[in-house]
């Protein structure tokens, strides 16, 4: 039998505390320290979550592609576990981007949604990785699930720049009614944003680690179930 999954190594502990402190620091800076944006008022604080979530989601999808390539090269299931965990986190944070965006947009542009190229690309990105999860759930065998989703993880990410380009070109010939508008950043806002980005990056690795552990526990559970089944 394999050794049980370890969740309390010093590295895990350090990551946990690091994430906790970084998120606490980011929250302090966002809500107590940084001044409100002059025109938009308190609602402008949402950008620290919005931009950081968008960064995290893109980073997560990039990791999906890298691990997909590594899986196809090595056929080592550990890469598949990482790309699955990363795709789930990416979808979660893309959803957060798609929810916080309209809230902010409603307050500052007076419209929930606009077919701006950033919004549209994010929405398509969300659908691509929903498709990634659907491919995973369509296959039972571990090896097929890993292989087919890895292939899709690669072509999905390769497609993103083309989607971005085509949608941007589409929006330039049909100019937006609500312009994205300049967002003059005070140095204190830039600093807060950077801390927030850092905190979200740590949060990504923390969630990734948890996701990987859950996957490992699941496969051990399956093994145990099989052992019990054969002994009986």
Partner 1 sequence: MHMLTGIKAIVQKDLAAEFRTRELLSSMLVFAVLTIIVFVFAFDPTKAVIRQVFPGMVWVCFIFTGVLGLNRSFVSEKTNDCITGLILCPVDRSVIYFGKMAANLIYVSIVEIVTLPLFAVLFNYRIPLQTAPALVLVIFLGTLGFTAVGTFLAALSSNARSSEVLLPVILFPVTVPVVLGAVQATAAILSGAQTAEWLSWVKILGAFDAVFLVIPFVLFEYVLDM
Which residues are at the interface with partner 1 (CB under 8 A)?
72, 124, 127-128, 130-131, 134-135, 138-139, 144, 147-148, 150-152, 154-156, 158-159, 162-163, 165-167, 169-170, 173
Nearer to partner 1, 27 or 72 (CB): 72
Shortest CB 122 distance to partner 1, Å: 12
Nearer to partner 1, 29 or 128 (CB): 128
Shortest CB 123 distance to partner 1, Å: 9
Shortest CB 128 distance to partner 1, Å: 5
Nearer to partner 1, 44 or 68 (CB): 68
Determine contact, residues 164/121, Cβ cutoff 8 Å: yes
Shortest CB 68 distance to partner 1, Å: 10
Nearer to partner 1, 62 or 148 (CB): 148
- The whole-angstrom separation of Cα 121 and Cα 123 is 5
Nearer to partner 1, 23 or 65 (CB): 65
Nearer to partner 1, 30 or 154 (CB): 154
Contacts of residue 122, Cβ cutoff 8 Å, sequence gap at least 6: 54, 57, 94, 97, 98, 101
**How far is CA 118 from each of CA 15, 49, 142, rounded to the nearest angstrom?**
32, 16, 35
Shortest CB 155 distance to partner 1, Å: 6
């Amino acid at each position: 039998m394999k050794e049980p999954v370890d969740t309390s190594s010093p590295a895990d502990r350090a990551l946990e505390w690091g994430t906790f402190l970084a998120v606490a620091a980011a929250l302090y800076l966002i809500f107590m320290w940084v001044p409100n944006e002059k025109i938009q008022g308190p609602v402008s604080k949402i950008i620290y979550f919005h931009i950081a979530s968008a960064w995290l989601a893109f980073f997560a999808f990039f990791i999906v592609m890298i691990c997909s390539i590594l899986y196809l090269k090595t056929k080592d299931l550990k890469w598949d576990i990482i790309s699955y965990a990363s795709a789930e986190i990416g979808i979660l944070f893309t959803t957060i981007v798609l929810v916080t965006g309209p809230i902010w947009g409603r307050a500052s542009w007076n419209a929930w949604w606009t077919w701006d190229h950033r919004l549209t690309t994010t929405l398509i990105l969300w659908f691509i990785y929903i498709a990634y999860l659907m491919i995973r759930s369509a296959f039972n065998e571990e090896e097929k699930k890993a292989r087919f989703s890895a292939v899709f993880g690669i072509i999905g990410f390769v497609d993103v720049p083309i989607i971005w380009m085509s949608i941007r070109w589409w929006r330039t010939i049909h100019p937006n009614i609500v312009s994205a508008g300049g967002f003059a950043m005070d140095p204190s806002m830039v600093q807060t944003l950077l801390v927030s980005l850092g905190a979200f990056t740590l949060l990504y690795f923390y969630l990734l680690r948890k996701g990987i552990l859950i996957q490992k526990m699941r496969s051990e559970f399956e093994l145990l179930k099989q052992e019990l089944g054969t002994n009986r």
